[in-house]
Amino acid sequence: MKHYLFILFYLFCNAFIYAFQGTFWVYLFCFLMFSAIVVWGSFDIGLGYFVNSITHKKTKIKEVALTFDDGPTEFTPKFLDLLQENNIKATFFCIGKQIEKYPETFQRIISEGHTIGNHTYSHSNQTGFLSTSKMIEEIEKCDGVMLKTGNFKTDLYRPPFGVTNPNIAKAINKTGKKSVGWNVRSLDTITEDENKIYRKVAKGLQKGSIILLHDTSEKTYNVLVNLLVFLEREKYSTFTIE
């Protein structure tokens, strides 16, 4: 995707500069446009601008993946109970610090056969500004906690906030991870209305969708209850990110 964006941007700028005789304001406009594209590429993981990420499954059948970020938390056992009751396997992208806080829950995720991915050690709010070495440290430290707590290794990685850039791309490559994104984002961490979250997810579903949720609140648990009813009614099966 990024190659097409670069080509289109290059052609656009050349035509624009030629048409307006390359004045200062034209060059400034092109610079600002380029900056906007880079920012867009950094925050939209689906573009694959810096990192090629798994965002959906190519399939002809009605199946979706339930993925949960930022756990384990105090709410995760309820999510696990619900998934177990419905005989559904999900994918959990876990934070190293949270694993240290809830080791038994992390072990339960493993024992119940769910797929697990690395979501960095601290999920820093400064993720987009960290150096390559610091990002590698974040990923490897989480790997170490997973190995120590659950004797578990994973090659799956989900960038915090879905943010990617050259440093993060290098860190993913050097740690041998596969980046996993989504194509249905619930926005459950910033939306308070449970019904609004549910409608957003249900409306966005397609065959092979990867759904981004968080096992961090009672609110999302309630959304999941309704979502599982919807999936059963609409005859959707589920898959995990393997």
Q: Is 214 a catalytic residue?
A: yes
pLDDT digits (tens, 9 = 90+) for 179-189: 999 999 999 99
Rounded to whole angstroms, the Cα distance separating 46 from 185 reads: 11
Domain ranges of the chain: 2-43, 63-238
- Angle made by CA atoms 33, 34, 37, in degrees to the nearest 5: 90
pLDDT digits (tens, 9 = 90+) for 65-81: 999 999 999 999 999 99
Decide yes or no: CATH 3.20.20.370 for domain 63-238: yes
Average pLDDT estimate for 85-103: 98
Residue 98 has pLDDT above 60, yes or no: yes
Burial class (CB in 10 A: 0-12, 13-18, 19+), 105: buried
Q: Is 69 a catalytic residue?
A: yes
Q: Tell me if the pTM is above 0.95.
A: no
Residue 10 has pLDDT above 60, yes or no: no
What does the block give as tokens for 161?
Answer: 């906030």
| Active-site choice (114, 119, 123, 214) | 214
| Active-site choice (69, 70, 143, 215) | 69
pLDDT reported for residue 137? 98
Rounded to whole angstroms, the Cα distance separating 115 from 108 reads: 12
Alpha-helical regions (H) of the chain: 2-19, 24-43, 76-85, 96-101, 103-111, 132-150, 166-174, 194-204, 218-233
Q: Which residue has the higher pLDDT, 7 or 88?
A: 88
pLDDT digits (tens, 9 = 90+) for 208-233: 999 999 999 999 999 999 999 999 99
What's at 49, amino acid-wise?
Y
- The average confidence (pLDDT) of the chain is 89
